[in-house]
Amino acid sequence: MTDLLAARLGMAMSLGFHILFAAAGIAMPLLMVIAEWRWLRSRDPVDLELTKRWLRGTAILFAVGAVSGTVLSFELGLLWPGFMRWAGPVIGMPFSLEGFAFFLEAIFLGIYLYGWDRVPPLAHWASGVVIAASGCVSGIFVVCANAWMNTPTGFRMENGVAVDIDPIAAMLNPAAFQQTLHMTIAAYLAIAFAASGIHAWGLLRDPASAFHRRALAITLLLGIACAPLQLVSGDISAKQVAESQPAKLAAMEGHWETKRNAPLTIGGLPDERAEVTRYGIQLPGMLSWLAFGDVNAEVKGLREFPREDRPPVLITHLAFQVMVGAGTTLLAVAVLSAVLWVRRRAVPVDRRFLKLLIAVSPLGLIAIEAGWTVTEVGRQPWIVHGVMRTRDAVTPMPGLVVPLVTISLLYVFLGLVVLALLRRQVFAAPRGPMKSVRAGGTEPPR
């Protein structure tokens, strides 16, 4: 394995791992403050229990998110010093702001987690709100930095150094709005369905559980709200990509020949040697329409670009299909849930429906991974689109395979432990309808 490949895989590993925890760090606090708000108003012990269980889940996920995020901050330099040497100052604005968001998150998580009987109830709840807000904001900042890599603005290159740097213009680059919107909704959507799956499973085992029923009502509602929004926001993202990164769009779509009235290819396998995409279903004119809002618009094909400027087509195309497939499925399930909910006038708990929820529960997280693969692999061979190639950014350090393997093993281990602990803390909920009030009690049960 070349060192460049090891570095790319290493970065992908770390980001792919971190993003799962980051998504939880954005969305879980929201669920938690909704549950606590309900408890403050209703004093119903089910709501308190729910708050605490989600809180324990959040605490576990947050710790792993924080340490894996730290690894990322260092890896930007450990793996890509050639990039950070000049790009650091340009994307410094979002990263500096993010630092403060992390501080707020960590501080108020400490208060929320350990302060149940040290601060007044409303202040406790407000700490939760700060966590939820700063989690959301920190995700937005870091995605601004990533969007800059896709649509770099706010500087000029002169002899390998960035000059005339405008940090604000760099942060508010053309892709920033689309990407942050799409990622933020993605986090809520993915976690809503992942959590729905967990609680659906709980209800299958123990249909009388008031705890899981209440939980499902909250998570499913969030999922229903986010699924249609995500489709709209994905369309906005696609139009942005079409405008600013034609090679990425062509790779996403497996689209080889520049033409008007370009067809949308669903599925299919791009063959990079023969420069064709086989076995796909073609919808005439749809690609032109989705990308530019006009069935007759011209869409550039991959043949337009010299080979050394093309991203890996197969991976990008497949990842895009996976994301869109997952998004569409989740939307269908969201619509079904809404219909059942209105019909039953209560959160639906039919066994078949619960099984469906379990089946689709990983789809949001899978879509996040796939979507990032589209964004990052689709940007190749550039680390900063049109400005710097990835191979020019990599560290001269030899033997990068060693940290790659070590850190990957570490992540596998952490992932397994986290799953086991979540099972213990969130899933193993009190059975049946709940009566007893258990206020106080800051520490988790042993």
User: And the tokens for 77?
Assistant: 């330099």
366 binds other proteins (CB under 8 A): no
Residue 310 backbone zone (phi > 0: left; psi -120 to 50: alpha; other: beta): beta
For residue 323, count other CB atoms closer than 10 A to its CB.
23
CB within 8 Å of 231: residues ≥ 6 apart: 327, 328, 331
Cα–Cα distance list, 271 to 6, 68, 256, 304 (Å): 25, 36, 10, 16
Beta carbon nearer to ligand HEM, 145 or 347: 145
Selected from 250, 327, 357, 382, the binder of ligand HDD by CB under 6 A is 327
- Give which of 27, 56, 185, 179 is closest to 116, Cα–Cα: 56
Q: Report in angstroms how near the CB of residue 254 gets to ligand HEM at its nearest.
A: 17
65 binds ligand HEM (CB under 6 A): yes
Choose among ligand HEM, other proteins, ligand HDD, none what residue 71 binds, the Cβ cut-off being 5 to 8 Å by kind. other proteins
CA–CA–CA angle 425, 430, 434 (5° rounding): 140
CA atoms within 13 A on the CB side of 365: 21
172 binds other proteins (CB under 8 A): no
User: And the tokens for 23?
Assistant: 């998504």
| Segment interacting with ligand HDD, rule: CB under 6 A, options 130-138, 199-207, 235-243, 403-411 | 235-243
Selected from 2, 70, 96, 406, the binder of ligand HEM by CB under 6 A is 70
What helix, strand, coil percent values describe the chain, rounded to 5? Answer: 70, 5, 25
Q: Report in angstroms how near the CB of residue 30 gets to ligand HEM at its nearest.
A: 12
Q: Report in angstroms how near the CB of residue 5 gets to ligand HEM at its nearest.
A: 8
Choose among ligand HEM, other proteins, ligand HDD, none what residue 421 binds, the Cβ cut-off being 5 to 8 Å by kind. other proteins
66 binds ligand HEM (CB under 6 A): yes
143 binds ligand HEM (CB under 6 A): yes
Question: Which residue has 């706010």 as its token pair?
Answer: 154
| Segment interacting with other proteins, rule: CB under 8 A, options 79-87, 231-239, 260-268, 329-337 | 79-87
Per CB under 6 A, contacts with ligand HDD among 240-269 are 241
**Exposed (0-12), middle (13-18) or buried (19+): which is 93, by Cβ within 10 Å?**
buried
Per CB under 6 A, contacts with ligand HDD among 162-181 are 175, 179
377 binds ligand HEM (CB under 6 A): yes
Selected from 35, 183, 250, 313, the binder of ligand HDD by CB under 6 A is 183
User: And the tokens for 354?
Assistant: 């619960």
Determine the residue type at 295. Answer: V
Q: Report in angstroms how near the CB of residue 104 gets to ligand HEM at its nearest.
A: 9
Choose among ligand HEM, ligand HDD, other proteins, none what residue 190 binds, the Cβ cut-off being 5 to 8 Å by kind. ligand HDD
DSSP, residue by residue, 178-239: HHHHHHHHHHHHHHHHHHHHHHHHHHHH-TT-HHHHHHHHHHHHHHHHHHHHHHHHHHHHHH
Q: Report in angstroms how near the CB of residue 364 gets to ligand HDD at its nearest.
A: 4
At 107, give phi and psi (nearest 5°).
Answer: -65, -50
Selected from 22, 60, 144, 176, the binder of other proteins by CB under 8 A is 60
Contact positions toward ligand HEM, by CB under 6 A?
8, 11-12, 15-16, 18-19, 21-22, 25-26, 62, 65-66, 69-70, 72-73, 76, 80, 83, 102, 105-106, 135, 138-139, 142-143, 145-146, 183, 372-373, 376-377, 379-380, 383, 390
